[in-house]
A and B are shown apart, each in its own frame.
Chain A
Amino acid sequence: MGYFVIGDEETVVGFRLAGIRGRAARTPDEARGALGVAAATDGVRVIVITEAVAAWLGEEIGGFDPLRFPLILTVPDRRGPAEGRPSIRDVVRAAVGVPL
């Protein structure tokens, strides 16, 4: 058990068929609950969250220390990458000082 998926039902079912456990979230509360379950599950190293669900969780995702907590990776769902999502571009801009 290395992965845990949080997302819409389609994504979770897809990953489940590939042998990856997960929990579907339809509301921000469900998303928070799923994140809590993922955090409490032993052996989870990476939590894959769809962009739509990650947008509900917002700051809660950023608050975790990856050295003690599983890494969180946001991925697009079936509809593709979301518009206006926070990306690594912001991280680069903060680090380098100029947008690249």
Chain B
Amino acid sequence: MKNFESDFYNVLNLLKIREPFAFNRFSDGELYILQNKELILDAEQVKVGQTVTKGIYKEEDFKKFHPKEHSFYRDRLVDAFKFKRRNYFKGLSCRCCVGDENFQWQLDFHGEYDRNFTWSNLFVNGNYAKFIHEMYPVFNEYKTVFICNENADLSVLPFLVNDFRVGYNAMVQDYGLIEVIKSWITENNIEGYLFLFSASSFSKMAIHQLYEFCDKNTYIDVGTTLNPFMNMRVDRTYLKSFWLGEKGSDINKICIW
């Protein structure tokens, strides 16, 4: 039986022993894109398929996916989801967060079960304190590159040697950046580096393509976990519990498989 905490320590151990790997996350937003549902996340509305609710998102989280207009990017996301290679870990949305039906849909859509499946939420909820206390310090052991929003302030992170920035709806607007990063890797003979991604759905496509291109580096989608260090908003429930001390059950939640 898969264990939320054990999977975290498996990934942490790879990082500690400097064995390259990729950790890619397919959260609910990516799930809807994989399901080819129209997705609009902005300040005015949240639209998933035909369901529309009030918008809650700020600019850096804006996302727009239209099945016909953006089919190319959906195909690349499918590539990332179905890609298999040693130490390429795929974080799926868990049944406790997206429900049994959606969880099963992911497995069915993927086809053959991949033993590198893990939780999309591996670094958040009940594992977030461990991520901050035990994994974050290990980043200092690496020459680290950050791919993140153009508004992020990275000056607090002492381990960075380079960064690449993305803007609004990066999956579409900044897709070409993947080739730029590949060129930088080649031209500078980059091996043994750590690449951190906090760039929404762009991260998923980039992590897949960069790990396929050069699997001698480590690529991790850190999502919103480092927002408090980047002068970015602390608005996720698990962040508010940990950093603001607000009551909330997510920070103790042990996600199930």
A, B assembled together: no
